[in-house]
């Protein structure tokens, strides 16, 4: 199969996304597909283009998502829960099959660069795993619990509700200084 | 040739590849289509357009034009779809094995109508 390198212009958008801030020329491998009768980009070419673009846009690369998760000893579902995206999304980011939006990426990059701590993120974005455990535990004990303690649990539950049930339409922002 | 309803089997198979395939493997782009996409949607990565195309093909009565070409083998259609709140032009080949596609075009429309309109 005939392969050659061709110059590809990578356009780096402005933050608003409506203009090109910078053009990065890059040599990428392409293969001639006899059936198609055209030059096709290889998988490596796509990776080169996307990684170069991501780097210039200040976005994390797929291996950095993996590195971040391993650094904090979290499972894909654990870290997905932390960023409220689900394990599937995180897996796709780690494998490079997809990329988060720029704003989500900014938050993840802040953690990657140690500008925010995982504890801060847990508190702010609401990692409810501990709270959920308490709720489940309390639910199991509910019938056997004396009234005064039930009152305490109700207060605790209210606190959980207040901190945990953020409306879906309101994103949680994390200010990075 | 008038605008036609895109064949359901073609739509289904293309959507499946878009949802499960990998860029550069099952989902191939030509050099020119990648450069055009980069020029028109510099703020988006190639895989961001897949859900938009899939949504159009899964929607109510997706329409487009069959592209009859001497080569390559397979079925090619072009169509308009919405991407990043803009109208975009797409031209996709489903290869004969129905497990691989080639994106010939995914960019802003160069003409107000499709080739067969």
CB A102 within 8 A of CB A145: no
The reply to whether A101 falls in a domain is yes
CB A148 within 8 A of CB A104: no
Q: How many domains does chain A have?
A: 3
Residue A13 DSSP one-character state: E
Reduce the secondary structure of chain B to three states and give it as a string. Answer: CCCEECCHHHHHHHHHHHHHCCECCCEEEEHHHHHHHHHHCCCCCHHHHHHHHHHHHHCCCCEEEECCCCCCCCEEEEEEEEECCEEEEEEEEECCCCCCEEEEEEECCCCCCCCCC
| Last residue within a domain, chosen from A42, A57, A72 | A57
The reply to whether A104 falls in a domain is yes
The reply to whether A174 falls in a domain is no
- Written as six digits, the tokens of A161 are 């509700």
Instruction: Tell me how far apart the alpha carbons of residues A159 and A102 are, in angstroms, rounded to a whole number.
Output: 32
User: Are residues A12 and A51 both part of a single domain?
Assistant: yes
- Written as six digits, the tokens of B27 are 């989902």
Beta-carbon separation of B35 and A41 below 8 A: no
User: Are residues A114 and A75 both part of a single domain?
Assistant: yes
Beta-carbon separation of B28 and A40 below 8 A: yes
User: Are residues A140 and A123 both part of a single domain?
Assistant: no
Interface check B46 vs A, CB under 8 A: yes
User: Are residues A117 and A72 both part of a single domain?
Assistant: yes
User: Are residues A67 and A123 both part of a single domain?
Assistant: yes
CB A46 within 8 A of CB B47: no
Token pair 């996709």 is at which residue? B92
The reply to whether A177 falls in a domain is no
Instruction: Tell me how far apart the alpha carbons of residues A102 and B45 are, in angstroms, rounded to a whole number.
Output: 11
Q: What is the pLDDT of residue A139?
A: 55
Please name each of the domains of chain B with its CATH number.
4-107 (3.30.2310)
Distance from CA of B44 to the nearest CA of A (A): 9
User: Are residues A15 and A66 both part of a single domain?
Assistant: no
The reply to whether A176 falls in a domain is no
Note the pTM of the prediction, 2 decimals. 0.74
Mutate to test the interface with A, among B19, B39, B45, B50 (most CBs of A within 10 A): B45
User: Are residues A66 and A122 both part of a single domain?
Assistant: yes
CA atoms within 13 A on the CB side of A120: 12
Which residue range forms the structural domain that includes residue A42?
1-57
Chain-centroid distance, C-alpha A108: 6
Q: Number of A to B CB contacts under 8 A, please give it.
A: 77
The reply to whether A140 falls in a domain is yes
User: Are residues A70 and A123 both part of a single domain?
Assistant: yes
User: Are residues A119 and A69 both part of a single domain?
Assistant: yes
User: Are residues A123 and A134 both part of a single domain?
Assistant: no
Interface check B37 vs A, CB under 8 A: no
User: Are residues A117 and A68 both part of a single domain?
Assistant: yes
pLDDT in tens, B51-85: 999 999 999 999 999 998 777 889 999 999 999 99
User: Are residues A76 and A112 both part of a single domain?
Assistant: yes
> Which pLDDT tens digits describe chain A residue by residue (177 residues)?
799 999 999 999 888 778 889 999 999 999 999 999 999 999 999 999 999 998 898 889 989 999 999 999 999 999 998 888 888 899 989 988 788 887 888 889 999 999 999 998 888 766 555 555 445 555 555 555 444 444 455 545 555 444 444 444 444 443 443
Report ipTM (2 d.p.): 0.91
Q: What is the pLDDT of residue B58?
A: 96
In chain B, which stretches have pLDDT less than 70?
1
């Amino acid at each position: 199969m005939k392969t050659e390198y061709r110059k590809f212009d990578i356009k780096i958008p402005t933050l608003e996304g409506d203009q090109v801030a910078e053009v990065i020329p890059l040599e990428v491998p392409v293969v001639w597909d006899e059936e198609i009768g055209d030059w096709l980009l290889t998988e490596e070419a796509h990776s080169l283009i996307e990684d170069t673009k991501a780097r210039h846009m200040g976005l994390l690369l797929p291996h950095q998502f993996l590195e971040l998760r391993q650094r904090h000893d979290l499972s894909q579902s654990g870290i997905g829960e932390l960023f409220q995206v689900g394990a599937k999304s995180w897996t796709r980011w780690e494998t490079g099959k997809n990329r988060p939006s720029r704003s989500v990426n900014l938050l993840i990059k802040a953690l990657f660069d140690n500008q925010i701590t995982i504890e801060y993120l847990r508190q702010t974005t609401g990692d409810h795993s501990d709270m959920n455990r308490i709720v489940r535990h309390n639910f199991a004990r509910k019938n056997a619990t004396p009234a005064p303690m039930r009152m305490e649990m109700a207060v605790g539950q209210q606190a959980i509700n207040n901190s945990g049930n953020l409306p879906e339409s309101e994103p949680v922002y994390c200010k990075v200084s | 040739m008038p605008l036609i309803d895109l064949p359901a089997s073609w739509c289904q198979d293309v959507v499946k590849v878009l949802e499960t395939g990998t860029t550069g493997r099952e989902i191939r782009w030509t050099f020119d289509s990648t450069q055009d996409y980069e020029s028109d949607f510099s703020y988006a990565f190639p895989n961001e357009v897949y859900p938009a195309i899939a949504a159009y093909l899964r929607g109510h009565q997706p329409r487009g034009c069959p592209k009859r070409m001497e080569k390559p083998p397979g079925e090619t259609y072009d169509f308009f779809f919405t991407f990043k709140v803009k109208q975009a032009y797409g031209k996709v080949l489903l290869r004969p094995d129905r497990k691989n596609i080639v994106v010939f075009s995914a960019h802003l429309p160069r003409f107000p109508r499709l080739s067969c309109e």
